[in-house]
Amino acid sequence: MIRDCSALPGRGDEVAALENVAGRPVLVVLRGVAGAGKTAVLGAVRKKWHERGMKIIHVSFSAGDSGECGVPAVLAAFHAEFGTRCDTKLAAVNRLCSSEDTGSSPSDPALFTELTRLFGALRQSGPAAVVFDDLHAVPDSGFTIAAARYAGCTVLAACRDEEAVEPTLLSALADQVVDLRPLTDGEIDELLADRGPVDPAVAPALRAALGSLRGNPGAVLAVRDELERAGRLVPVRGVRCLADPTAPIALPPGHERVRQVTRLPEPAPALAALVGVAGTIPVDDLLRLAETAGWEPAACGRATDRLVAAGVLGCDERGELFVPCPALATAVLNTLGERTHAIHAMVAGHLLHGDSAFEVEPLAGPEVRSEPDVVARLCREAARISPAASATRWYRTALAHCAASGPGPDSGRVLGLGRDPDTGRGRGPGSGPGPGLGLGPGSGFGPGSGRDSGPGPGPGPDTGSGSGPGPDSGRVLGLGLGRDPDTGPGPGPGPGPGPGPGSGPGLGLGPDAGPGPGRGPGPSPDTGPDPDPDRDRDRDRDPGLGPRPGSGPDPSPDPGRVSDLTRSLLRLLVRIGRHDWLPEVVAEVVADGVPAGLEYELAVAAALGALHTGIPVTSAVAAELAVDPAGRPPLEFAGLWFDGREAMSLDGFVAAFGAFRLGGAPDAAPMRDQLEIWAGRHDLVALFGFLFGAEYGVPEGGPLALYHRVITGYHRGEWAEVLSAVRVLELSGQPTTPAHSQARLLAAEIQACEGEFELAAEWLAAAGGSPFPAIATWAETGLLWRSGRLHEAVDAGWRGYEKAAAAAERGNPIGMHWLLVRLTMLESEAGGVERLAELRTLARKWYRRYGGRRLQMADLMVTSLVERDFASARAAVEVVRNHDNQSELMRACLIASSSADEPRPWLHEAYDIARRLGGDLLRMTIKARMRERGVAPPRRHLASADLSATELRIIALIRQGLTNRQIAGALRISEKTVESHLTRLFAKTGCRSRLDLATASIEGRLTVAGLDRNGTA
């Protein structure tokens, strides 16, 4: 519940309506769910009434023991407000309450009379009001409220609108009922920003986690406070950001909704957590789940009814239970402690032992009960699920039960991938041994184990043969994963055994193998039903088909196949984008002794895990893997990345990871050209994706994923997204990497374009000794130039160019195109004719040396500026337009406008791009250029996105005929603030008066007059 009586966004209409009943003998009931902001609204109304000189008594029934009808709370409120001045009347009421004969019964007329006299005393010197809060805390609050109403006071009573607690009779007797609606997304954004700026990604994350409670201000503030307490809402450059945004968000453990669930008798809390883990559960599955869990079916049914009635669970039209508020499910799961393991095992066990109608990504690892055929059944369940990323969790669980034989008690740790359900982190070495997979003869997972096949996305038939002893050793893990995570089965044959009935394409990932069709003793997605219904009989005759479920334990594993199995697992994790699991797997393998021939794959996996998580490879792992020369390049690449003093080398990248690519390192010229483009952006996610193709899964979180958002957002012109990602990147991984450095420089450039010079300087300073001297100089000169220090910018530009040229001579020309264009623009404005000619020569020199689209663009732009050549400018625009870089396109259009006979279309396009980018200073600069060339700013129809929520409300209230003062009261802002908003609206829309604004809004002809975000010309 919100106890803060300060301004609450979205409640202005309610406050205004309640303020208007002041002094009238009426009963007004304020209704809302828990956390809707009733107490805050009451506080705002009391403040307004105090300003009118009214006497007010505030009675809170939740403060201590309020008795059956709340009389003790009334006495406490009067004593707190008036002290001893009304002791006589208080004593009379207190005496009746204390009497054993009468008590404080609602049927006691004497008590009602004395209460009426007590409330009536308030009105002796003027209008009086009694405000009741938390009516749900007493059984019969109507007795006390009726006395206040009968005394002629203005009575305002707040209650919950849940059917179980709301006094419906009181609402029926009320003169007016005011309901508190859920807040809109815009109002929630304002609420979150009441303590200062909040990153734009925070509100959507909270709304997604809160679900049905997304519009509940109490829940929003409770989660915000919990995130701050947990250190997950952290200020970065004055803006609070969500650290670890992929981690689940939970309601606080003390939140009323959480307590409501945990106070229910079992199995209600466990059932709520179970549905949260599963996502959805068909009602028809409840009886089978109850049987699996050992719950009494009737108790399970009653618990379900209670949870649905309380809104904890929902039931859709398909008869599937779900949790409307994911944050609630997460919080309940967190309260279960060690029982969460049982919840996970219950979900997985139920799915494995029956024909369940629901699909779920199991979180159970080793918690699944070990049975002789558990691995086979886990793999069959995985084959049933699509896409592969979901199925992989089942395979991970299966692998957690695979104990590879070998010397020592910990030999089974190599596949211990069980993750702690409470923390989401790996359990560490030794956590996942289970029953053996059985890779020996007769296991069902060895060579020649299946008959039905389906296509997989492998590179072709020539890459399907695995290396190692025997012709089929590369096919050791045919786990039905030869599917594209997004599109399903893909093209390209390649051998790989399938896991069993229902299996799809096999993984088949030996050292040289491409994922190809699965071969499993069951129907594949492409071949239809199983042609052989007598499989169980065949299993008894053919050991290659594996044991029949329940027929006995799997045979002991073949130690010679551990390397192939581990290799396949590493590639599988890379393919589904779970790079964060790689360090754990590698550490376990290294701890048990590096298998011969696996050094390179393990080194690549260790490097990939480190790069994607932002945590360097541990010295122990690095030392073991660097013994073999093949493992050194990936480890050295990762080490240089975290060192951060040198820019990435494309040759070093290919040397480190090229051999991991199915088909070998790239050598074709077109592939090298594309890699050069992505390397120029230093975007490792794009590089890995292009190098590995479908075998690389794009990560959802981590520093590389954030930097990928920075780079793609900057080129697309999504500057707000860029700044958001840069802030979160500051909280992710080791801060010395080239990704962090370049992200800070781009943030400095964006903030300088927005006129935020202090923030731009902070980002520039944070970049420090960047490995990108050209980009650093480009950002520095941009800040100096836009802050009015042109000649300082020119001097800094030439000093920085010397460092950038030295880096380019060493093979690092990254950002040189930006610097050359900016330096030319600065010299052109400063009138440096001789230097302009020099820049023309330098641009041609670097383009001839390195080639590429970026330096070609720079050569054309510099030529246009120096020689006033419109043809070069137009060519530069086309080069940039074909490669979707909005920032560069805007600059190219500006340069084209300086030499074009008709500058209007070029300036309008540049202005439109600047508007989308969000840089106020950019728009002002372009408008100044328009005035110089006699071009009018573009006008367009106004959209809701162009106006803030407050501006939209002001326009709506003006259309209703409200005065500025009335608008101020409705919005709970000052009249001066309303006038400021109107001034900005007039400037933004070109309207000259309130009437003009209202008329234009009604007729749908509001336009934007080409002004900046502050409404200034």
Contact assessment for residue 70 and residue 144, using Cβ atoms and an 8 Å cutoff: yes
Residues in the chain, pLDDT under 50: 1-6, 101-103, 163-166, 355-367, 403-559, 1010-1017
In this structure, the answer to whether residues 786 and 692 fall within a common structural domain is no
Tell whether 554 is covered by a domain.
no
Integer Cα distance of 188 and 202 in angstroms: 11
Q: Domain residues for 199?
A: 185-242
In this structure, the answer to whether residues 777 and 863 fall within a common structural domain is yes
Domain end point (choices 883, 903, 933): 933
Q: What are phi and psi of 104, to 5 degrees?
A: -110, 45
Integer Cα distance of 175 and 529 in angstroms: 70
In this structure, the answer to whether residues 696 and 820 fall within a common structural domain is no
Query: Hey, is 522 helix, strand or coil?
Result: coil
Q: Report the CATH number at residue 895.
A: 1.25.40.10
Residue 460 confidence (pLDDT): 34
Q: Report the CATH number at residue 965.
A: 1.10.10.10
Tell whether 619 is covered by a domain.
yes
Q: How many CA atoms lie within 13 A of 919 on its CB side?
A: 34
In this structure, the answer to whether residues 146 and 193 fall within a common structural domain is no
Residue 601 confidence (pLDDT): 93
Domain end point (choices 909, 933, 957): 933
Domain end point (choices 648, 676, 700): 700
Tell whether 652 is covered by a domain.
yes
In this structure, the answer to whether residues 69 and 140 fall within a common structural domain is yes
In this structure, the answer to whether residues 617 and 692 fall within a common structural domain is yes
Contact assessment for residue 460 and residue 514, using Cβ atoms and an 8 Å cutoff: yes
In this structure, the answer to whether residues 649 and 667 fall within a common structural domain is yes
Tell whether 465 is covered by a domain.
no
pTM of the model: 0.72
Tell whether 859 is covered by a domain.
yes
Tell whether 130 is covered by a domain.
yes
In this structure, the answer to whether residues 696 and 782 fall within a common structural domain is no
Residue 824 confidence (pLDDT): 94
Tell whether 423 is covered by a domain.
no
Residue 690 confidence (pLDDT): 86
In this structure, the answer to whether residues 796 and 839 fall within a common structural domain is yes
Integer Cα distance of 588 and 808 in angstroms: 42
Residue 381 confidence (pLDDT): 56
Query: Hey, is 594 helix, strand or coil?
Result: coil
Integer Cα distance of 166 and 185 in angstroms: 27
Residue 671 confidence (pLDDT): 62
Q: What are phi and psi of 782, to 5 degrees?
A: -65, -40
In this structure, the answer to whether residues 635 and 658 fall within a common structural domain is yes
In this structure, the answer to whether residues 603 and 689 fall within a common structural domain is yes
| Sequence-ordered list of residues with C-beta below 8 angstroms from that of 370, at least 6 positions apart, any chain | 401, 434, 435
State whether the Cα torsion 613-618-623-625 is positive or negative: negative
In this structure, the answer to whether residues 831 and 957 fall within a common structural domain is no
- Helix ranges, 245-321 (H): 256-262, 268-278, 286-293, 297-309
Number of separate domains in the chain: 5
Residue 162 confidence (pLDDT): 63
Q: Max Cα separation, the chain?
A: 107
Q: Report the CATH number at residue 150.
A: 3.40.50.300
Tell whether 419 is covered by a domain.
no
